[in-house]
Chains A and B, each alone.
Chain A
Amino acid sequence: MTSGDVATYVIAAVILVVFGIGARKIYRNFFRGESECCGSDNCSSCSSCSSGHTKKS
């Protein structure tokens, strides 16, 4: 196995892992209604409060 082959396998594995993360995100976004903008507790735009103005409590 050449160094080129090793590099190919390593890079391909990394790409596959990130691809899997992306595919899982697509699945969760659709079937669970999750969204990137709701990733943090500070995401005021995603709270269940009544409007963009009642978020400021």
Chain B
Amino acid sequence: MAVLAVALTGNPNTGKSTIFNELTGARQKIGNWPGVTVDKKVGYTNYRERAISVVDLPGTYSVDARSPEEKIVLDYLSQEKPDIVVDVVDASNMERNLFLTIQLLEKRIALILDLNMMDEAQKQGYKINVKKLGEMLGMPVVETVGRSKQSTKKLLDVFTATVMSDYKNSELIELHISKVNDILEKTIDKEEAEEKIIALRYELIDQIISSTVVRPTATTSVSEKIDRVLANSFIALPLLLVLVYAVFQITFTWIGQPLADGIDDFIGDVLTPWASDGLAALGVADWLQSLVVDGIIAGVGSVLTFVPLIFTLFFCLSFLDGTGYMARVAFIMDPIMRRAGLSGKGVMPLIMGFGCGVPAIMGAKALDSEKDRMISILVTPFLTCGAKLPIMALFAALFFPDNAADVVFCMYIVGVVMAICMAKLLNVTTFKDEKATFLLELPPYRLPAMKNVLLETWDKGKGYLIKAGTIIFAMSVLIWVLSNYNFAGPTDDMGESILASLGSAVSVLFTFHGFANWENGAAIITGILAKESVVSTIGVLYGVTDISTAKDAEAATENAVKLAGSMGGFTALSALSFMVFSQLYTPCITALGTIKKETGKWKWVAFAAIYTFVAAWIVSLLVYQIGSLLGY
């Protein structure tokens, strides 16, 4: 018997992927739809001696073919003609979900309607006459609860028992289709025709809902009451800033910093002497002792010190995300984004950029217009990702010990402001297009499950650990080699090394920035490979890892003096200028690779690398020069 081809379609957030995972288990393949970077998920299962293939189509609100996802869904359904098409619908949100259903029926695509999340709908008080719904739409209707074996079996029973050709559109749907065709024939203006058809669809949806769904008594939900405060147009933005500030206080003052001090003490007082004494006792060659202690431990150790800060910050962001508040951030930022020429939906991928720029760049594919996608990709590098946090934390702790959390908070704001300004600039210069509409689903507020928050924190943070053990390790070895050797062989004077030559060449660019020495030039070069490398380079070249302040002011001062002591060394102002530059300049090599993957063109990689460098150069120059004029 031929393989039964099943396609899952539906709005985002309807549990489609959960159903796909339950149906196919581990037997999945993930690739790309041709020509676009949208995931293609295909899975397989067997049921009652029937082989079944399941395609999880991208979630879409409609099939108007404006975005790559909509085009994929429409093309797949009309060209591949799968045996079964399942429209997965959120049973508690049918008004929005049925829009896609009606569109698919207009295109005469036979469907099975899957009313998913029935448990949630029943909890909210919805009562649905499933039989009448099926009669009005002219299709089989199945009730499911996402992650439930019973639901999976129910679906598989329907797949193997249903012959779609037995089903025809109901009279109600045929009448609707003839009205739509009438409008298309008689209305000349395309936009006017589209508006009339949309109105017609919602009339039909209202008719179906009023006949088949008994809604719960309308009361203001807890979420709506909370949104009256948190999403209020006057106080939402100040509240957001207060909340973010609180996150920074938790990270840099209350929890993350004390833990970071502990790790720093362990590396400095335990690990380093142990390694040094141990290697000497083994009789290991002097150069290898230096590589391990002054290179690897200094380099990797300086990055690992910030692990508690990273995980604390990610925990706070994951917790906020789990409560549903992050969706409100997109809503709050929408007016500001529109002034910058982006739709509010553009905030969603940018929010991911505070963890890591890579998913933020990949997340841009969800934006509807090419212009929005490109602008989102190109401004993401300005945000303070987790990898830049150690740079901010190190310099803030050393040069602004009484206000470290405030300074880092300001750096985050600098990144956001720069992203918005550059979005505006790109909108009026490089990319000119009409604005897209913004449809956002606000999930209800909820207390997130701590297990999920911890898992997500680990998910986001473990990449940092993996990077420390691989890329930063390799960078530390490379920096040690380049700083201890020149073309004639080993050298005792780092200032004569290969790295010094490279760093000096770059540092010329920063003559008027206050940090024009080869060590800083070298840190800037290595920061392009991985942002954390700036810290590991400083750790190797200056021997600075201790960022404790309140605990040991003397040691902190000693380290600040070390940094300040080099030729062209740091002052508080030049440290601030360096922080701003590090915040804004060329994204890391992974982000550049992702830009190439998402845009498909090397020219955008080169553009992103150069324009961010130039922007960072200008802004950090202004910070230093204006600060100098003001007497700092």
A residues with CB within 8 A of B? 2-5, 7-8, 11-12, 15, 18-19, 21-23, 25-26, 29-40, 42-54, 56-57
Contact = CB atoms under 8 A, between A and B. Distances in A.
Contact of A4 (B38, B284, B348, B464): B284
A21 B467 CA distance: 11
Nearest to B15: A57
Given A46-B359, A53-B348, A7 B282 contact: yes
Contact of B358 (A12, A23, A31, A37): A37
A25 B356 contact: no
Given A45-B460, A57-B13, A57-B18, A22 B473 contact: yes
B597 interface: yes
Given A7-B283, A52-B326, A36 B467 contact: yes
Given A8-B288, A21-B470, A50 B459 contact: no
Given A18-B474, A50-B366, A35 B590 contact: yes
A23 B474 contact: yes
A37 B463 contact: yes
Nearest to B18: A57
B589 interface: yes
Nearest to B474: A22
Interface in B1-38: 12-18, 37-38
Contacts of B265: none
A48 B38 contact: yes
Contacts of B247: none
B321 A52 contact: yes
A42 B283 CA distance: 45
A3 B456 CA distance: 46
Contact of A31 (B17, B288, B475, B593): B593
Interface residues of B, number: 69
Contact of B441 (A4, A30, A45, A53): A53
A12 B284 CA distance: 10
A51 to B, nearest CB: 4
Given A18-B470, A52-B326, 14 more contacts: A7-B282, A15-B477, A19-B473, A19-B474, A22-B473, A23-B474, A26-B474, A29-B589, A37-B459, A44-B456, A47-B39, A49-B12, A50-B69, A52-B351
A45 B473 contact: no
Contact of B459 (A11, A40, A56): A40
Contacts of B513: none
Nearest to B605: A30
B288 A54 contact: no
A43 B593 contact: no
A26 B597 CA distance: 15
Top 7 closest pairs, chain A to chain B, by CB:
A4-B283, A22-B474, A50-B366, A33-B597, A36-B463, A51-B348, A37-B463
A47 B464 CA distance: 18
B457 to A, nearest CB: 11
24 contacts: A3-B282, A4-B283, A7-B283, A11-B292, A19-B478, A22-B475, A22-B477, A25-B474, A26-B589, A29-B590, A30-B590, A35-B356, A36-B464, A36-B466, A37-B459, A38-B358, A43-B459, A48-B365, A49-B59, A50-B348, A52-B321, A54-B59, A56-B443, A57-B17
Interface string B293-330: 00010000000000000000000000001000011001
Given A48-B365, A57-B15, A11 B284 contact: yes
B284 A45 contact: no
A42 to B, nearest CB: 6
A45 B467 contact: no
Contacts of A42: 455, 459
A22 B14 contact: no
A48 B362 CA distance: 7
Contacts of A47: 39
B363 interface: yes
Contact of B14 (A15, A32, A57): A57
B462 interface: yes
A53 B363 CA distance: 11
Contact of B327 (A38, A48, A53): A53
B285 interface: yes
Contacts of B475: 22
Contacts of A7: 279, 282-284
A53 B326 contact: yes
Nearest to B459: A43
B366 A49 contact: yes
Nearest to A42: B459
B463 A39 contact: yes
Contacts of B37: 48
B58 to A, nearest CB: 8
Contact of B593 (A5, A30, A39): A30
A52 B283 contact: no
> Which of B355, B472, B594, B597 gathers most chain A CB within 10 Å?
B594
> Which of A3, A31, A36 gathers most chain B CB within 10 Å?
A36
B592 interface: yes
Interface in B432-479: 441, 443, 455-456, 459-460, 462-464, 466-467, 469-475, 477-478
Contacts of B467: 25, 36
A2 B471 CA distance: 32
A22 B362 contact: no
Given A32-B593, A53-B327, A8 B296 contact: no
Contacts of B282: 3-4, 7
A34 B552 CA distance: 40
Contacts of A44: 456, 459
Contacts of A49: 12, 17, 59, 366
